């Protein structure tokens, strides 16, 4: 088992769904998606549900599992800045989270079979993300 700052994410016992289910992650993904690419400080300004420290921690977690990527861009003053974008995997994850949100907003009692199928879909997505991340780290 790994130890230290990143053990929470890289440990086999930690599911990527744990990262995706953390406070403010969904809101961060939606903000990045709405703007295509955005500076971290702008995301912090828009996401009001969490502290700046929490949001920056989420950036690191999301980068580590391949949901967002970081690149260097130029700001309005001509200075280099970090920009975050959703990866193709991040776009798929956001779509699934939006579907899940829609499902949860419906009456779950009326559609128990569909709920079970969606739960399995999320579990499969989590395993896919975890496997892809491990293959990238070890390949």
Q: What is the pLDDT of residues 26-77, one digit of tens each?
A: 899 999 999 988 888 889 889 887 888 888 899 999 999 999 999 999 888 9
Please say whether the dihedral angle defined by the alpha carbons of residues 26, 29, 34 and 39, taken in this order, is positive or negative: positive
pTM of the complete model: 0.63
Mean pLDDT of 120-135: 67
Q: Answer whether 62's CB lies under 8 Å from 28's CB.
A: yes
For the record, the structure tokens of 63 come out as 């980068």
CATH number corresponding to 15-108:
1.10.10.10
């Amino acid at each position: 088992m790994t130890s230290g700052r990143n053990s929470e994410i890289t440990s086999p016992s930690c599911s990527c769904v744990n990262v995706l289910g953390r406070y403010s992650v969904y809101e961060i993904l939606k903000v990045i998606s709405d703007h295509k690419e955005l500076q971290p400080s702008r995301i912090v300004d828009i996401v009001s549900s969490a502290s700046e420290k929490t949001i920056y921690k989420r950036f690191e977690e999301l980068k580590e599992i391949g949901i967002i990527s970081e690149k260097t861009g130029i700001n309005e003053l001509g200075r280099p800045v970090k920009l975050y974008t959703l990866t193709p995997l991040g776009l798929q994850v956001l779509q699934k989270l939006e579907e899940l949100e829609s499902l949860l907003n419906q009456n779950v009692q009326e559609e128990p079979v569909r709920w079970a199928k969606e739960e399995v879909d999320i579990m499969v997505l989590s395993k896919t993300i975890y496997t892809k991340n491990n293959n990238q780290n070890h390949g």
